[in-house]
Structure formats: C-alpha cells, structure tokens
Structure 1
Amino acid sequence: MKKRSTNEIPYKKLTIAIVLSILFVINGYGEKNFWRFQVIETPNYVVKSILQDSVGLIWLATNDGLYRYDGSDIKPYFPIPDCPLSSNRIDRIQEHASHHILCQQRNIIIMFDRKREKFGNLPEDLQKLKDIREYKRNKAVPNDRWQEILASVECPEVDRIYMHTYDRDSNLWVGTSGGLWLITRQVSLFDHIDRKSEVVTFFRDDKHRVWVVSTDNRIQIHDATMNPLGYLSPDGRIVKDDTVFPYPVHSIKQDRRGNILMAARESGLLILQPKNDGNQFKIRQLKANATNPEYPDFDNIYEIHIDRQGTLWVGGQYDKLNIARPDSTGSYIFSNASTGLSKVQGKIPESVRSFLELKEDILLIFSENGLYCCNTRFNDYSELRFYHQTHDKTDTTSLPQNNILAVTQSHNGEVILSCGGQLCEIVGKNYLQEKVPFRKIDTPQFPASVAALCSDDKGLVWGVTNRSVFSYDPIKKIINHYPPSSPKEVRHFSVNPFFVLNDSCIMKGCREGWIQFDPRKVAKRSNLTPIYISEVKTLKTQNSIIVDTDSIISLRPEEREFSVRFSVLDYNRTSPVWYAYRMIGEDMKWSLTEQNETAPYVDLPAGKYTFAVRSTNGDGRWLDNERKLIIEIQPYWYEKTSIRWCMAILFLLSIAGGWWLIDRYAQKQTLKAMEKLRALQQEVSAPDVIPTPDTNQSSSSPETTDKNDAFSRKLLAYLDAHIGDTDLKVEDLALHLGISRKQLLQKMKTLFNCTPIDFIIANRITRSLQYMQSNNEMNIAEIAYCSGFNDPRYFSRCFKKHTGKSPSEYLSEVKRKATKAQT
C-alpha cells in the first residue's frame, strides 16, 4: 500500500468528526464514541502480518522474527539457527489445528512449536503446502472502514501499511513499516461543559430553574432543560448580558416563603425576596451583629441548610454554628453559643463544612473537627444534643480522620463519608450515640482522595477524586472506577457538591466548568476476556516452564521457589488492570496486585496445589474469568511416603531396642545384687538375706572393711525385721543407719552396685522365694503381701524381671519338684 496523501486525511478526519458530533447530539449523555490510537512498541518496526490465535494472543510476523503479544509484554522468537532460512524475516503467519503457528518466508513454510518455543519442519500432512493462505484464508470484513478510522485519529506517517485485521473485541490492528498500531473504540461516558472558571455549586428553585454559581462571581440561571435564561445582576434582576454578581456565593437554599438564602463567605448572609413572579429579587444582606438576634454573630458564612422543620443552620469556616428559626413575619431569629445555644447538650459544632439531613430527621454536620449528629425535631434548645464523632488511634472502628470532606445517604439508607479522602461508611442506623462505629472502604483502584459524594435513585453512591469519577454499591460492596478515557477528558475536581438534575442527569462542578452524566448509562464493559498463564519461572534454577494451554505442570524438588506469570488478554485498556490470585489450600485470602502480573511463591512443601487467578478487564470491571493451574511439586527422596514410613519404623525399632537394652542391663545388675545377697546368706548362715561387701574391696584397709561389714550387718538386720512392712521407705532405712538419703545411695552403690530401692526389692524377692520353697500352700497374693509388696500385680512384674519367670510358673515348678521328690 502506498503512503497516504497528506491532503486526503484532513477531509476524512473532518467528515468523521462531523458524523460523531451528530451522533452525540442525537444520543444524549454517555453516548459519545471515539477512537483511541496507540503504538505498540516492538523491537522490530516492520510488521508484515498479524494473527490472533484461538487463545487470544496476538502474533506478529516481522522482518526480524516472530513476536507474541499478551497485552503487556512482547516476546521474540527467531527461526535461526533452528531452521535453514536465509534470515529471520517472516512474511505471513497462520494458526494450525494443533495451535502451533505456521510461518512462511517466501515459498518456505516452517512451524513454530509454542509449547517447546522452537521452530521446526512441517508435519507430514502439510509437506505439500506451498502457501499458508491455502491452509486457512482469513474472512473478509464486510463494509470495512479501516481507512476512515485511520483518518479520524492522529497517527504518524509511514512508508507502507502492510496489513490490518480486527480481533474478537473489534479492535483494529495495523501492521506498518513503522511498527504496530492498535486503534480501540472508546465511549465517552461524561459530557463536559467548559466554563471560564470553576463551578462552585448548583441550586434549583421552586420554579425548577437551575442556578449555576462559579468562582468568578457569576450566577447563571437555566431552565429545567439547562437552556440559559440569563445572569443574576447586582440589583437582583435576571438579565441576558454576562454580569458579575458582587458577592462570592458558596451555597444557596430556598425557604418555605420562597426566599432564596445565600452563604456569601465574608459578605455574610444574603436573603433574596422574590417579586415580579420571581424574575426579580430584593437583596437583603445580614452582616455580623452579636447584639441583634436577627443577624448571625459572624460574617464568614461557608454553608447553610434549611431542614424539614424550617430551621436555618448556618456554618462558618472558622466559627461556631448558628441556628435561626423564622418568626411569624418570616424573619429569622438567630441563636449562637452565647445566647440560646448555650443550653444545648454536647459540644457546639465549629468549622462547619456542610450539612446532610437524613431520612430519619437526623442532621449530620461535617466539619474539619469530625462529625456531629443531632435530631432536628426539638421545641427548645435545651432538648438539642450534639453527638461528636472523632478519630481515635486506639479504636479501629472510629473515624479514619477528623477532616470530613463529604457525606451522602444512599437510596437504601447507608451513610457514606469521605474522611480526609478515605472512603468509609457508618455501621448500623443508630446515629445518636456517643460512639458510632465506622468501617473503612478499600479503594485499591484509586488513591484515598475522595472529594465529593452523592446518591442516585438506584442505590449507587457516586463520587469524585481529584481527577476521576467512581461509583460504589453499598449492598454489593463493589467499586467501579471511571478514569478519563483520554487526556482531553481530564478534569480537576474539588470538594464542591454534586447536583442531581433529574433521574438521567447528575452534574458536578470542576475547575474547567462542570461534567454531567446519565447514571443509568455509565457502566463498565462486560466483555469476558480470558487470562493467559504464560510460564512458571523457577527462582533458583532460573528455568522457565511454558504453560500456554496446559492445565497441569510438574516441578522438581529444587524448583519449589517459583513465580507464575499471567496476563488478561484485553487489549482495550482504559483503566489499570487488577489481578487477584491465590494458591488454593495454601492461601486463605486472595492477594491483590495492580499491573504486576507475577505471583511469587517461596519454599512450598512437596504436594499438589491449585493456583487460581482472576482479573478486571481493561475497563476496570471484575470478571468471572478465573483461570486455574495445577502445580505438582515433586518431593526429595527423604520426603517420599515410603521413605518416611521406613524411617518411622526404624525409629520405633530403635526405641524398642533401646528399652530392651536398658531392661537387660537392669536385670543383670539385679542378678548381680541377688548373687551377692546369696553369698552373704551362706557366710552368716542366716535364714534371710544377709548382704556382704563387694569382693572388689579386698584391697581396702582392714579398718575400712570392718566398717563396711558393720554397715552391712546393721542394714540386713533392719531389713530382716521390717521386710514384710509394705510402708517401708528409703528414708526410714537412712534414719535407722544415721545417715542421709544421699549418703545411703552412695554407700549402696559402692558396696552393692545398686540403689536402696533395688536392694529392698531384691530382698523382698528373696523372701518370696523362701516362702515358695518352704510353704507351697500359700497363694501368690499372700506371698506378695508377706514379702512386703502391697500390689500382687506389681509383685508379679518384679518377680519376672528378677527371675525370668512369673510367680505362678515358679510356684508350679516348686510344687512339681516336691511331688516328684515324694514319689
């Protein structure tokens, strides 16, 4: 295609602009369509062919390889050295039934394996293919007006346009010698009315006229359909000529008598009394006069409000609240902190920013010092009570900040606030209490800079930040953000209030004038765009595992630290894309991320996991497009179940073997002690057990040996007398011998290589053996009690431990031997 003529394009642009303007006038608010042009930066600027595959990815054939675009990043693939081509140039591309990409260079056709990310030869069924256009030819678009679309946007001049195509969302892609162009259709949801200065407020009188007040002190009056009627002159007339009003008006209200009241900042309060059918007004100015009850006690009046009972509430930016009630003649009688309001309960509001009267006859007064709540139904000021809500650092349910910028009540009754820009809401409906709970509303789509709020009749709350508009559903807890679609739509908003003209038009003043929109037509695109998981990249090995269309992957044990990369395939992006991801079973909550299209995970145990990710579309609306990927992490050899069972069995066997060795050692020690006891019995010819010192003491001096013999005899004599006592204790034995328990333990270890308890048990076992051999008519329980055991079962365990046989077995053996001896 030849270079476009520079003379031809302006005429086409003018034609398109006229057509779009006519369509906007016909359709009304929120129906202005336009095209947005953007250049997709590619490493090689010559794009010869464009393809959107079945997944939704964009593939580009260029003079220097094949490129894949997922809406965020462009990834290059080069045929050389995988294929015998003269260069990396690719002229045409097409998708194969296997989802691989057919690439053609002149008369040579190769295939790109998207899973292995390598070029290779064609399969056998395509060996005879000479041109990929024979495999699958793109369908022609009827009434293709791509040239008119190009003419309607500002695009750079290029030497050649190679081709163009449309994706499934009707976005226009153009491949040129100067790079890749993307042209998307945009809808302007907001109508912009430009003025010379910032619009401060709107007001509708009882004749349905709309008053528009701007910072240049102009008050323009419109009819119900916003057709201009004229300006308010200094003498109170409505005139056609552009006229400046002499007072800086900030707020306008109308009372029951038809009088229009204006908060005129440092000029005090203005009362406009209508005459001549409301087309002319008598202006009366009320300046500060503390001695006259018909005047407020300060001049800098910032905001006024007339409640349903007709009471006038007057707030000053730096002063305390004034309240005025009309008398029988219609004149207002003011009360302030030093007069009638001295009777009120609670702190009198000061630095008042604005008022909001709820459906429950409750008035919210928001200021720089917090939120005040009171009931508007009272007969005397002594019945009036203000409940003051402020920020408390120790209480998470208190106001986020004291500086209240805006308050509104939704159609369903929820109260939404902007506290220093932070969006929050009141929990419950009990506003008249000392501590009202609040809940913060997360706004990840935009910073906490909410300047103004209002509600529509559908239950939505509308608000503005410093440069954008958003809506909030208090029931579903959903926020939709509407940033400017183009630099030309950028507007600068302040804390000035919204104005609801009718059900189909909401207006908001800004520095450039005002915007207006139909809340029924402002909506996000609902196109369901898929999420593409491209790869899983391991952190230690820096290995990339291509996911593409797979639903399950496997990782080696050393690859358990990895990151998953994903992207939503929506190329018409007017808002930042948000992602929510989690590892099911591992993450309890969704993790939110803006623009960052990777999810890192570190040191996950071996096992099977399911990774899930969902996102907003390019318009900022959350979609039901959840994409799941099963990730299997292989265990190390010592983490396998069979190895763990073997290790557990070996551990249990080692414990059992240790207990067995300890038991065998104890038995050997006991047997040695019993052998010593038997030796002592033979030495002293005593019927019971009489211990003897250790034979290893032969090298001791005669004096030491005599002392040990005396100690042993004294010990055995005491045991002989008390061995049948079941309450015999080691302390009794030590007390009889005249030594401490510790000294007794050391002495027994030295002489008999056992503890006092083991020595006592050994003597009792020896006594039980004597009973069994001398009196075989006794049963086991009697033998146990006579030997000093208070529990026959414990006696049985000790007997078997020392003799290797149970008492019943030993007693049976003794009886059998006695019977045999008699025969």
Structure 2
Amino acid sequence: MMRQLGILCTLFVMFLCEAQEQSRLPLSDYFSETWNTRSGLPHNSINSVAQTQDGYLWVATWEGLARFNGQEFKILTRAHINDLPDSGLRALTPTPDGGLYIAGSRGGISLYNHRQWDTKRSASTMVNHLIEIADKSLWLALENDGVFYREANSNTDLPIIENVSAYRVIEDNQGVVWAATSAGLYKIDNKTPTLMTPEYGLPNAPVYNLLITRGGSLIVGSEKGAWIQAGNQFKPIHKKLTNESISSLLEDNHGDLWFGTINKGVLRLSPDGIEQLDANNGLPANRTLSLLQDRENSIWIGTNAGLFRLRESPFSSWTQKRGLADDYTRTVLSHSDGSLWAGGSSGLNIIKNNRAQLVAGSKEGSPYSVLSLLEAPNGDVWAGTYTSGVLKVKDNKFIPYLNRSNGLGSNEVRALLFDSKKRLWIGSAMGLTRVNEDGSLDQFTNEKDLPSGFILALTEDKAGNVWVGTGNGVVVFDIISEKFNTIDFTEGFSAQYAFGFYIDETYTWMATDRGLVRYELSTSKMAMLGLEQGLPIDKLFQIVPSNGSFWLSSNRGIIQIDKAHIQSILNTPNGIKPPPLNYQLYDEGDGMLSAQANGGSTPSAVAHYDGSLWFATAKGVSTVKPARLTASTEIALPTIIENINVDGKPIALPLLGESVFIPPGVSRLSFHYAGLSFIMPQRLNFQTRLVGFNDSWVNRQHMTGAEYTNLPPGEYTFMVRASYPNAQWQDNQQVVHIVIQSFFWQKAHFKFAVFVFFLMVIYGIYKYRLYHYKQIEIELTNRVEKQTQDLQTQANAFAYQATHDQLTDMPNRRAFDSWLAHNFATYKQQQRPLAIAILDIDHFKRINDNWSHIVGDKVICTIATILKNGCHEDQHIARWGGEEFTIVFPDKTALQAKEICETLRKSIEHYDFSAFGEGLNVTASFGLSDSTSVGDYDRLLSRADQALYKAKNSGRNCTEII
C-alpha cells in the first residue's frame, strides 16, 4: 500500500513539476464572466471551445458556430459554411497550420483555413471528436459507430473500433492513438485496437475524455473518476476524484489539472489540493461540456447553460466569503511581518498565508468598527475606531487604550501616527491629540491650532514635521517651533478635504476633494491635477506609489497614472497646452467587486511587501499586482482586419497575398478591425496607416474602425496594429492591399489619347488659321503701313499735347518734372549747380475777378512771352499750373539765377497791360533754390516753393532765395 502511494505521489509530482514559475490564484480570486444567448451566442450548450492560431475563439453549439473577437460573437451557420449539413456542431479541432476542423451532429466535417471553407466528406453519424495527425490523415470518434481512420485526400473511412460510442481520440508522443469510448479506453497501435480492461487498473466504465500532459502523461477521464497512466498500469489521480464522472480535461499553464464533470461543475487539482467551482459559485450550470485555456491564460468552461470564463483579472478581492468580518472595509495596513490587516464595520482581520483571521474583542457584544490602523515601531498594531476611540491589538485581541472617558477629544478616530520622537498622534472628529512618551496628552483643536477639527490624514516628513489633513485644508506641525503652519491652497483650486499624503524627495503630494495637489517643499509652489487636466473624477482618497506610477483611489475606481507623465503636465509653462492626460481607470470590469474605494480614513490603500497594492472598498479589500498587469501586456496580441465596407456594403476579404479590387466611383471606404485580447478588449489601442494616402501612423485610441472618403483611383496598403494599455506597440500589424479601379476616362491611355487628339485638333486649327492669315496678309500689310503713318502723326500730336500747355504753347508741368527727374542726378553726380525758380503772378485772382478770365489768359500769355524773350536757350521754362511758371537755370547757382529773375520781374512790372484792361498793372513773385544743399529734386522743388512763399509773405513783387 505504501509503495503504491509512493508511486502516485511521484506521478503527481511529475505533472505538477511542469508548472511555470508563476503564482496561481485560488479559484475565488479569478474574475468570472458568463455569455449565453442573451449575449449573442446561438445556443447555450457549449459543446466545444477552441482557439486558432490567429487568436480567434471558436464556440460550437447545437445551433451553429460562433467566433468571438473579445467584444462580440459572429454567428456562422450552414449559410456560411458551404455544404455542411449540420446546424448542430459537436467538435472543434485546431490544426498545426492555423486551420480549424468543425464537425457536426449529422457527420458533417469542414475545414476552415486561410479564410476559406473546405467541406469534407461526411461521416456516417455524429462526430464527437476528430484529430489530424502529421500525415494529414484523420481519426474520427463517432457516436454509436466507433473509431474510424481516414487517409489524407481519401473519401474512405476505415473502421478501427465498431459498435461503440467513441467520445475522444488522442495521439501520444510515441504515435499511439488512444480512444475514449462507451466500452472503456482503447489503445490503438498501428491501427490495431486493444481494450484497456480492469486488469490495467481502470474501472469497468465508459471513458469520456483524454489528455496528454506537457510531460507526456496520459490522463483518463471516465464515468468513475480520473486516472493517470503509470507504465502499463493506470492509477487514480486523487482519491476525491475517484467517484466523479469526468466529462472534460485541461492542463493549465501552471501544470494544474482541471476536471469538468457531469453534475459537479469543475474541479481543479493543484499542490494546494482540490478546489471546486459549481453553480453555487457562479458557474452557469454543473454540467460541464468543454474546457480550454487561451493564450492569455484565461480558462473557458463550456456548460449546457452558457459559456463561462475565469481570468486572472488585474484585481482580486477578499470579502466576507473568504473570511473577512464584513465586506465594507475602511482601512488596510501592510505589516512588517508580511501580514495584511483589514479593518471595517464589523471588526479587524489579519490576512496571512492566504487565510483571514478575526481579531477578537467586542464592545458590549457588538464588534468594533475599525476606521484606521497603525503599526508601531515595535510591531504592535493600533486601531482607530468609529465609536470606541483607540484600541491596541495584543495577542490578536483588542485592548482599549484611549477614548473620551480618559482624555480623547472624540471616539471617532480616522488617523494615527507615531512620529520620530515616539509620540502617538491621534486624529479624531474633534481635533488632534498627541500622546507623549510620559503618557501626557496635548490637545490641538480648531479653536486656535487647526482650520478644522475633523482630522482625516497624518504623516511625517523626513525633517520630522507632521502633516495634518483636515476637512478644511492642510496644516504642518513644525518640529522646531512646535507650532502649526497652514498650507494655503492656491486660489482657484477650491480644495478643502485632504484625505491622504505621499512625500518624496522634492514634493508633498496630497489627495484632495478637487484632485491631486503637488506642493514643492523648497518653494511652496502648488500645482493641481484635476478635472480640467483630464482626471475622470476629482475626489481622490489615497496615493500609493508603485514602479513609477501613482495609484489613486476614488469612489469610481482606482486610477493609475505614470508619475513622470503627471510631472510633464504640471511642469508645462503657462500659455502652452499641456499633453493630454493618459491614465487607466480600474473598476468592476477589472475584478473589483465595487469601484467605491473607501477613503475617509487612513491608511485606506497600501503597498504590500510582495509588490501588491491593497485598497479598502465597499465590497471587501481589492488587491492588484502591477507586475501581473505588466506581464499581461507582454502576451502576443493578434490584430485582425475583420471587415471591409465599400460605400457601406461589405465585400469579401482577400486571401493571403491577394489584393482587393474596388470598382471605380467609390466615395467611402471603411475598415473594421479587432485586437484579439479577451482580457481587456475595451482598453486596447489601435493605430492605422493607409500607404498611398498618408504614410504616417494615425492614433485611433480605442476605435475599431477607420474610414476614408473620396480616395482617387490607385493602389493603397491599409495597415493596422494594436497595443495593450500602457504598453509598446507590438509587431502585429495586419495588411491588406487595395486597388481602386478607375473609369475608362480616368485611365492613363485614355488620357493620352485625348491629349493626342487635342494636339491634332489644335494643329488643324493652326494650319487653317495660317492659310487664312496668308490670304489677308497683303491687305493687312498695306493697311498697317497707312495706319502706322497715321498713328505716328497722331501719336506725335498726342505726345506734344501731353507735354505742352495749350494756352501758352510752353512745356507743361509733366514735361518739366520729366526733365528735372531725368537730369537732376546727372548734375549732382557731375557736381554741377542747378537752380530752379518758381514764378507766381501776384493777385491773379483779382485780375480774373475784376477784368475777366479772358484778360487773365492774355496776361498769362504775355508773361510767357516775356519769359521766353528774357531767358537763354538752355534755360527751360514751363507753365507750372494756373498762374505759376518754373524756370531751370543749368550750371547756375541761386545767386547767379537771381540776377536773371530780377530782370524778368522788372520786365513784367514795367510792361504796359492797359491794352487788356484800364488800370491793369501786373507784378510777379519769384522763389529760387539750387541743388548745392539738397539730395533729390523733390527737395529742390520744395525749397523753391518755400522761397516763393517767402516772397509772397515779403510783400510780393520780389525774388527770394532758400
């Protein structure tokens, strides 16, 4: 008997030693989900579950096949699977090259591979199971008919075992095929069957399932228990399994064995013993039909009432079911001895060695309501309660320590702290109490020391100062001055409640009712991360640092943010838009039984010695191992392009290496894709790229579709890739080549033909016009010559008119300005003087008014004649406009020109104008300037004009120089 027991232990160790070096979760720590017909399944009986190499999960039911991408089921029936005669499907078997065999209740068999269906010859009756071996031949386990062998590419089934119901076939490492049948276990060697009778150690009972472990051991699931092969004999795996009816088998990544039963749910055998999961623990039904572990290590359980999944969710919970005194927890403490303490409305528990122990003690028969916890330097634990003040835990029993009757301000204690001077600080609802080493008490209240008597959090910085979080701000007890200093929140933050602290080398971080506040110790500068910066909720309770991240508890779940990312946002200068806030919010969908993380006292969240984080919630204590999250993001993440829609209508996906040809005139092209993760499908991030349109990756966040409109004809390559949250992009991009065809008028040869035709038309028109022009060339030449002569004469007349005054026939202002602009620079460059005079007839308006405009015109003409007669040929005279004339004196200074101007002035003054009008006398004023002191002709004119004004202001009939 002892020898037999030793063999069994050895065998048990053999297959358990294959386990990976990962910690396993108890079944109660798994996060479970259920799918049924209300979730999109075609039927609730899950006959088989399989995962193909592309990452899809496949489910066989009595009403068709369902393919799951993590978010939705796609139903595939006989309308999709060509020529398969079965709606009810019984078996799914993946192939090594990525394909999937589907077998049904009427014997139908089909192979799905590379997006193509290949329907095989049907078997004689329902196929319970089939396998494909290395040479592509098939072994079939048939209902009532037995086991058959079908060679590759053959339509003939060779009977191996007949007249029994065969449920499963499997090939071991030596090429031996084993068959589970209603008559028992058969060994098929070289197509020769041998029944494993009771003399081999097996009971005389039907065998329903078989499993070859990674270590090569054969596991047999029968109507009378589970057995393991030991040499030529079979032994019971575990005494508790001996009388169970085993319907399905699974070895997980830890090497643990899972047993699906006919009426007892699922059993797991591990070094921790036998665990059971049944309908009382959430399983849809106790009849288990299939088991599978996917590539993300989730366990899928097919029952006759739906599909059930157990996954190692980020969070697991300790609740009353696992031994806590109450689900409503308020405080957690990581003890230096490796234990975890959890306090709640109904007492205090110590969690150690995966067990929860209740601390004994009550008040008048009622359990203590624990609000806060503290580990003293000597390892003792102190508890702050809701109605009983401060208790001390000794030998796992509560001992009253301090309450209102012996000096405490209030029995409601939400924060405890031992400072570096071994003084106990007690934060209550009525202020702060300090217990000194000698036992004396110091009381601090809102009457003189605190902004509020409601104390929520206490901590000590490296200098020994005590930080106090209250219901109305934060104060710091200065260890040197023994006084409280108020930390004023920056105007606009509007924070009041300070629920928790974390102090690093540079900053004090505060969890407040308006977000995360950062206080710089050296400068007292504040910054806040709140709703405006992108937080999903602004009331935060506790800050737990872990591996470069902050884990923030709130009433809507646990928020994880990279600390460096927070710093980059808070350090963004004013006026510059900060980067968008990236965070992860974990809630009920991630394993928490309640997203309400209670935080009205401290500590409400802690980091444990093993790297796990613990949070007090309304439904137990939730715990997470960040390392598990990191490991989950390292699992290969397949990306799949599921649908291509053209103008809203789906088209067939291309086969491997083929392109999609799209007809011309398409206005809208959309792609739908998925990342085949079943752990966190809603959290996956996607990037897409359409080469030929935009060669850079475009962030799609969590969107599972991309749409493009009005793409021109041409060749494109659509690419998509996926990543887990807070993880690098994996090399998992999927590619599809698209060719948008063009109308015939959009094609290059058509455009070339049109271009050539256009050139020919242009050439023909050109030749015709050339001929026509030749005919009229002579006539046009004659006309042009005559018209040219006429135009030249007319142009000369127009040119003369444009530069001469019609009244005096003298050059006008345009001619004068042109001459001056053309010659001034030459005179300046040659350093030759150039003088200009501007003449204005005095009181000319009076002449027009008293003697008429006709007389005025005669006066102007007379003065023009006097000027012509009094000037030399090189002295240019022009009528400047109205009653003004200009005279240019080349090579003369203003003084030299003044003599000429005086002569001209006197000639005008002494001229007898009485012939034009009785009593008419005319005088003129002259303004002179030269180029010796100016740099441009405009300035020269301006100075001459100023000289004229000077002459006018000097009494007129004179000559002035400027």
TM-score when scaled to structure 2?
0.49
2:277 paired with 1:152 = yes
* CA shift for structure 1 position 663: 11
* CA shift for structure 1 position 451: 1.4
1:57-456 equivalences in 2 (<5 Å): 57-79=56-78, 88-95=87-94, 101-105=100-104, 108-111=107-110, 120=119, 125-129=153-157, 140-142=211-213, 144=249, 145-147=258-260, 149=266, 151-154=276-279, 161-184=288-311, 193=342, 195-196=344-345, 200-216=371-387, 218-222=389-393, 230-234=399-403, 246-255=410-419, 257-265=421-429, 267-275=430-438, 281-287=439-445, 299=453, 317-318=471-472, 332=482, 349-350=487-488, 370=489, 388=490, 390=492, 432=523, 447-448=536-537, 451-456=540-545
Is 2:645–2:651's contact at 8 Å kept on the other side of the alignment? Answer: yes
- Percent identical pairs in the alignment equals 13
Deviations 1:171-201 (A, max 9, x none): 4444444444444456765656352178654
Identify the residue that residue 640 of structure 2 maps to in structure 1.
533
Deviations 1:745-767 (A, max 9, x none): xxxxxxxxxxxxxxxxxxxxxxx
* 1:107–1:492 CA distance, 2 compared to 1 (3 A): closer
Identify the residue that residue 32 of structure 2 maps to in structure 1.
36
* 1:415–1:124 CA distance, 2 compared to 1 (3 A): same
* CA shift for structure 1 position 542: 0.9
How many equivalent pairs are there? 590
Is 1:37–1:181's contact at 8 Å kept on the other side of the alignment? Answer: yes
* CA shift for structure 1 position 152: 1.6
Three-state SS of the structure 1 residue aligned to 2:649 is coil
Counterpart CA distance in 2 for 1:589 and 1:424 is 35
Is the strand fraction higher in 1 or 2? Answer: 2
Three-state SS of the structure 2 residue aligned to 1:676 is helix
Identify the residue that residue 597 of structure 2 maps to in structure 1.
492
Q: What letter is aligned with 1:261? A: W
Q: What letter is aligned with 1:152? A: L
Three-state SS of the structure 1 residue aligned to 2:47 is strand
Is 1:66–1:76's contact at 8 Å kept on the other side of the alignment? Answer: yes
Counterpart CA distance in 2 for 1:221 and 1:208 is 11
Three-state SS of the structure 1 residue aligned to 2:436 is strand
* 1:474–1:542 CA distance, 2 compared to 1 (3 A): same
Identify the residue that residue 664 of structure 2 maps to in structure 1.
557
Identify the residue that residue 675 of structure 1 maps to in structure 2.
782
Counterpart CA distance in 2 for 1:468 and 1:333 is 37
* 1:502–1:112 CA distance, 2 compared to 1 (3 A): closer
Counterpart CA distance in 2 for 1:216 and 1:134 is 66
* 1:631–1:493 CA distance, 2 compared to 1 (3 A): farther
* CA shift for structure 1 position 203: 3.9
Identify the residue that residue 375 of structure 1 maps to in structure 2.
none
Identify the residue that residue 742 of structure 1 maps to in structure 2.
none
Is 2:558–2:595's contact at 8 Å kept on the other side of the alignment? Answer: no
Is 1:194–1:512's contact at 8 Å kept on the other side of the alignment? Answer: no
Identify the residue that residue 56 of structure 1 maps to in structure 2.
55
1:637-676 equivalences in 2 (<5 Å): 637=743, 638-641=745-748, 674-676=781-783
Is 1:100–1:111's contact at 8 Å kept on the other side of the alignment? Answer: no
1:470-481 equivalences in 2 (<5 Å): 470-475=559-564
Three-state SS of the structure 2 residue aligned to 1:557 is coil
Counterpart CA distance in 1 for 2:85 and 2:620 is 62
Q: What letter is aligned with 1:627? A: Q
Deviations 1:489-523 (A, max 9, x none): 65533365546576447554445675566766775
Is 2:508–2:518's contact at 8 Å kept on the other side of the alignment? Answer: yes
* 1:613–1:237 CA distance, 2 compared to 1 (3 A): farther
* 1:668–1:220 CA distance, 2 compared to 1 (3 A): farther
Deviations 1:29-63 (A, max 9, x none): 99975473523442123443433333232333333
Counterpart CA distance in 2 for 1:470 and 1:67 is 35
Counterpart CA distance in 2 for 1:534 and 1:80 is 22
TM-score when scaled to structure 1?
0.56
Q: What letter is aligned with 2:599? A: S
Identify the residue that residue 710 of structure 2 maps to in structure 1.
603
Counterpart CA distance in 2 for 1:48 and 1:601 is 41
* CA shift for structure 1 position 607: 3.9
* 1:308–1:113 CA distance, 2 compared to 1 (3 A): closer
Counterpart CA distance in 2 for 1:566 and 1:46 is 28
Q: What letter is aligned with 1:630? A: V
Q: Which is worse superposed, 311-320 or 188-197?
A: 311-320
Counterpart CA distance in 2 for 1:189 and 1:317 is 32
* 1:230–1:468 CA distance, 2 compared to 1 (3 A): farther
Deviations 1:437-494 (A, max 9, x none): 9799987xx9345613435474432222325334443348885655455464655333
* CA shift for structure 1 position 533: 2.0
Q: What letter is aligned with 1:432? A: T
* 1:590–1:129 CA distance, 2 compared to 1 (3 A): farther
2:730 paired with 1:613 = no
* 1:91–1:232 CA distance, 2 compared to 1 (3 A): same
Identify the residue that residue 702 of structure 1 maps to in structure 2.
none
* CA shift for structure 1 position 168: 4.3
Is 1:31–1:189's contact at 8 Å kept on the other side of the alignment? Answer: no
Deviations 1:581-602 (A, max 9, x none): 22255275643444x5333333
Alignment RMSD (CA, Å):
5.5
Counterpart CA distance in 2 for 1:27 and 1:450 is 35
Q: What letter is aligned with 2:344? A: R
Q: What letter is aligned with 2:35? A: V
* 1:534–1:430 CA distance, 2 compared to 1 (3 A): same
Counterpart CA distance in 2 for 1:235 and 1:653 is 110
Q: What letter is aligned with 1:463? A: L
1:788-807 equivalences in 2 (<5 Å): none
Counterpart CA distance in 2 for 1:601 and 1:506 is 44
Equivalent residue for 2:554, pick from 445, 465, 468: 465
* CA shift for structure 1 position 678: 4.2
* 1:474–1:633 CA distance, 2 compared to 1 (3 A): farther
The structure that has the greater radius of gyration is: 2
